[in-house]
Amino acid sequence: MKFFADTADLNDIRELAAMGLLDGVTTNPSLVAKSGGDFKQTIAEICKIVDGPVSAEVVAMDVDGMLAEGRHLAKIASNVTIKVPMTWDGLKACRALTSEGTMVNVTLCFNANQALLAAKAGATFISPFIGRLDDIGLDGMDLIEEIREIYDNYDFETQILAASIRTVNHVKQSALAGADVATVPPATLKALVKHPLTDKGLEAFAADWAKTGQKIL
């Protein structure tokens, strides 16, 4: 499974990219605003750090506005992926942009029918929002599994990008359900390394080593 960082924080992106952990980045206007940077400049900087897809979201709600914004953002770098909403106009924009050779991420997907439409419209990525479904008492993983089955039934090339990930278990479950990508906040991605038994083992090793009175350097 690929890892995308769900952030616009350049320091986090640089750190994760240097470790070879990043396959791409997803952003939105809220994340860029939180980082305090200029939207287009931030996208350009991220694209210099990361070779993989970098999602930049349009803010227009109508198809003409989405296309104008999407085409403008796509000029920033060759790896910019235009993020459009899962709406009728968003699907129209998706079809047009993908026909022009631009990668498109259809976001705010909450059911399998929406994912089916996005694939038919030629989406590069579909972003089902796991955490937000969990918030209303549904199981977001059920949606990942349904989309996986539908896409496999018809050999759709659209990649399932598990989004709205809140926990390390969401990452594991997404991988088990067959998601192609998990877009993860940096803090959650870093938490994947943690386990209490790892910490306990290190403490024991350190204590035993201290008793020997030796040094490696």
Q: Is 41 exposed, middle or buried (CB count within 10 Å of its CB: 0-12, 13-18, 19+)?
A: exposed
Query: What pLDDT score was predicted for residue 96?
Result: 98
92 pLDDT higher than 90: yes
Please state at what angle helix 39-49 crosses helix 10-18, rounded to 10 degrees: 10
> Which residue reads 């104008």 in tokens?
68
Residue 87 exposure: Cα atoms within 13 Å on the Cβ side: 13
Q: Which fold has domain 2-212?
A: TIM Barrel (3.20.20)
Residue 194 φ/ψ, nearest 5 degrees: -85, 140
pLDDT band at 217 (very low <50, low <70, confident <90, very high): very high
* pTM score of the predicted model: 0.95
Q: What is the mean pLDDT of the chain?
A: 97
Write out pLDDT tens, residues 100-148: 999 999 999 999 999 999 999 999 999 999 999 999 999 999 999 999 9
Write out pLDDT tens, residues 177-196: 999 999 999 999 999 999 99
Least Cα distance to 165 among 146, 189, 149 occurs for 189
What is the rounded CA–CA span in Å between residue 139 and residue 160?
Answer: 16
Write out pLDDT tens, residues 97-111: 999 999 999 999 999
User: What is the DSSP secondary-structure string of 18-50?
Assistant: HTT--SEEE--HHHHHHHTS-HHHHHHHHHHH-
Query: What pLDDT score was predicted for residue 2?
Result: 98
DSSP assignment, residue 129?
B
Indicate the domain borders of the chain: 2-212
Query: What pLDDT score was predicted for residue 35?
Result: 86
34 pLDDT higher than 90: no
14 pLDDT higher than 90: yes
pLDDT band at 51 (very low <50, low <70, confident <90, very high): very high
Residues annotated catalytic, as ranges: 83
Q: Are 47 and 77 in contact (CB under 8 A)?
A: yes
